[in-house]
Amino acid sequence: MTTTRPQTPPPLNAAPVPSRALHWDIDIPLLTNVYMLRAMLTVTLGSAALVAALVSLMLAVQGDGSLIPPMLGLFAAAGLGFLLLALLVMGLVFGNRLRARFSVDDQGVSFQTRDRVAKASNRAALALGLVLGRPGAAGSGLLAMTQEQQTLRWAGGFRAEFDAAHHSIALRNRWRTLLRVYCTPDNHAAVCARVREQMARHHTAERARGRSPVAGYLGRTALAVLACVPMFLLAPVFGYGLLLPLLLMCFAIATVWFVRHLAWVVLGCSATLAVNTLMAGMVVRESAFSRGTHFRRYEVLSGDDWALSVLASLGLVYLAWHAVQTLRKRSVPALEADLQDAEGP
Is the pLDDT confidence value at 171 over 70? yes
Res 292: pLDDT: 58
pLDDT band at 4 (very low <50, low <70, confident <90, very high): very low
User: Measured between alpha carbons, how far is 233 from 20 in angstroms, rounded to an integer?
Assistant: 63
- Report how far residue 319's alpha carbon sits from residue 264's, in angstroms, rounded to the nearest whole number: 11
Q: What are the C-alpha distances in Å from 97 to residues 25, 29, 31, 81, 84?
A: 12, 5, 8, 22, 17
Nearest-CA neighbor of 162 among 140, 180, 174? 180
pTM for this predicted structure:
0.83
pLDDT value of position 125: 64
Q: State the pLDDT confidence band at 283, using cuts at 50, 70 and 90.
A: confident
- Mean pLDDT of the chain, nearest integer: 86
Q: 167's torsion region: left (phi>0), alpha (psi -120 to 50) or beta? A: left
- At 136, the pLDDT band (50, 70, 90 cuts) reads low
First to last CA, the chain: 59
What is the DSSP annotation of 38-67?
A: HHHHHHHHHHHHHHHHHHHHHHHHTT-GGG
Give the residue extent of every domain in the chain.
28-95, 214-343
Rounded distance, CA 248 to CA 322, Å?
13
- The residue-averaged pLDDT of 191-214 equals 95
* pLDDT value, residue 29: 93
Task: Give the sign of the dihedral formed by CA 233, CA 234, CA 235, CA 236.
Answer: positive
Which is more confident, 288 or 148? Answer: 148
Task: Using CB atoms within 10 Å of the CB of residue 183, give its burial: 0 to 12 exposed, 13 to 18 middle, 19+ buried.
Answer: buried
pLDDT of residue 321: 97
